[in-house]
Chains A and B, each alone.
Chain A
């Protein structure tokens, strides 16, 4: 982690409208390339997950607050959207907005509490709230959420044409949403607000000395990150047409943390690359391992163990993640210094 805000790397360069359009086009090209290799249906799930990873990157990578309860907001968005589709109207965009509103209100309320803490208590109290949310969905609210059985829902076409249950349309919808979230976060993190948020990560005390009300900034960031996570959750509901308490289970947090770390925390491109690598591991290892085990005629550990090993490797050797390591190498060549 560099001490001063870095103005040379990809992460920080202010995004001019033209530059931003170029970056978005670049990512769109990358997504299309990826969809040539992977089934389109999977690719949609990938992109929904990318949005979640981007939202977590804002909270952890940019502001330095590691939460073990981010799935609460993903789940709130997923359930908010699903319940609106079941009990409200069938319009997908309004349902999505309803899910985001639920999560934003939840984050605004809980944020007043959790944002008073940082470090270990922050991670753990978020996990506690996540666990409570998981329980609420499973048991006291099971009258509306159907508890463990999950809730099926269906949405109308967007604008009468876009049928979310057709792979091509779903892919397009998810891609547009992902690019929009990326552009929003790109502008946000390069703005003065974003620089302040990064300064809070480096040294909150000094930011306070400069006269800023850091609590307000942290709270706003928490609400934004949670709302974007809810967008991802709502899209998950729309694309899958089904939600179960698994979407709000605290175990999902590790996936997100892992994806952010492997790509490189505090860098939006890192979040995308980390998300891709993670989804590839998660989707292909369970298929590859049994085949490999058959071939070698022995029992091999499941993918959780490999995940654990990769986490240890990241922490002990490649802390900056893939993008961080590449950037450091590039800067070393260009400027003679890795930072």
Chain B
């Protein structure tokens, strides 16, 4: 049981890392960003490649691949997302989906379709109540909580965070104050992409890297964002943890149903809470 709970929190933590960017992009720019899955998957593959160069140093590869993905995220923002501001949702969905397809095919071209396993970088397990708990999973959960607190601080205290929070409420109002909202949006976009990459790399040792990993987590993350409320940071955290737990508990009894159960929860939420999103 404790293992299931820890597993649930681990999945929830990864979902949180990934969904923050998605939620912020939707809240500020009103764009459903499928390209997020591309950044996530590409980051993990870069990480695996760097692991080979840096003699399996986990932290070094993590930092380098994170740095390498920042320009990629910026390019996506500058040449695709920025051209979609104020456009209808449909075109944004289709264009970012195009980016996701290009990224997936790029991965298949360079790295092939065989899944890559990644080793657990810590490899230790603590005995707890007669069970062995991998330390690595606990590290993931703790880092997600730290991220949550750090983001709260960022949005409460820093001027950039305040501007973004204000634009979530009323971006025209912020524009009227003479601020270049787009610049802040692109900072937020790159930040969100970096968090997705971080989540992907943290998740890699538990799962395996395969070209369609971006698609799979996107579906789950959409559920998180809808359940948590689009652009609602606290909601995203709670929803990610709850849905992670739903997946873990369902998976314990009926492993194939884990993903479907997340969508059942999402459907129930939509039924009982009419959405005000456009």
| Interface residue B260 (Cβ < 8 Å from any Cβ of A) | yes
Q: Write out the residue numbers on chain A whose beta carbons fall within 8 Å of the beta carbon of B219.
A: 127, 131, 250
Contact yes or no, A304 B90, CB < 8 A: no
A235 touches B (CB below 8 Å): no
**A214-233 Cβ-contact flags toward B at 8 Å (1 or 0):** 00000000000000000000
Q: A316 CA to B260 CA in the complex, in Å?
A: 35
On whether the beta carbons of B256 and A307 are closer than 8 Å, the reply is no
Q: Does B267 contact A (CB under 8 A)?
A: yes
One of B67-75, B97-105, B177-185 at the interface: B97-105
Contact B94 A315 (CB under 8 A): yes
- Interface: A242 (CB within 8 A): no
CB closest residue in chain A, given B30 = A120
| Cβ-defined contact, B277 with A120, below 8 A | yes
Which residues of A (281-339) have their CB < 8 Å from a CB of B?
A: 299, 301-302, 304-305, 307-312, 314-316, 319
The secondary structure that dominates the B interface is helix
The reply on B263 being an interface residue by CB < 8 A is yes
B104 touches A304 (CB 8 A): yes
Which residue of A66, A117, A250, A307 contacts B101 across the interface (Cβ within 8 Å)? Answer: A307
- The reply to whether B105 and A304 form a contact with Cβ atoms under 8 Å apart is yes
A66 partner residues in chain B, CB cutoff 8 A: 89-90, 93
Min CB distance B73 to A, Å, is 17
Can you show 21 pairs from A to B with CB atoms below 8 A apart?
A66-B93, A113-B270, A119-B89, A119-B278, A121-B275, A123-B90, A125-B266, A125-B267, A129-B263, A132-B263, A132-B264, A132-B267, A135-B257, A135-B260, A139-B257, A304-B104, A304-B105, A308-B98, A311-B94, A312-B99, A315-B94
12 new A-B contacts, CB < 8 A, other than A305-B105, A308-B101, A311-B97, are A116-B270, A121-B270, A123-B90, A125-B266, A131-B219, A131-B259, A301-B105, A305-B101, A308-B98, A308-B99, A309-B98, A315-B95
B interface with A by C-beta (< 8 Å):
26, 32, 80, 83-84, 89-91, 93-95, 97-102, 104-106, 108-109, 215, 219, 222-223, 226, 230, 256-257, 259-260, 263-264, 266-267, 270-271, 274-275, 277-278
Using a CB–CB cutoff of 8 Å, the interface residues on chain A facing chain B are: 60, 64, 66, 68, 113, 116-121, 123-125, 127-129, 131-132, 135-136, 138-140, 250-251, 254, 257, 261, 299, 301-302, 304-305, 307-312, 314-316, 319
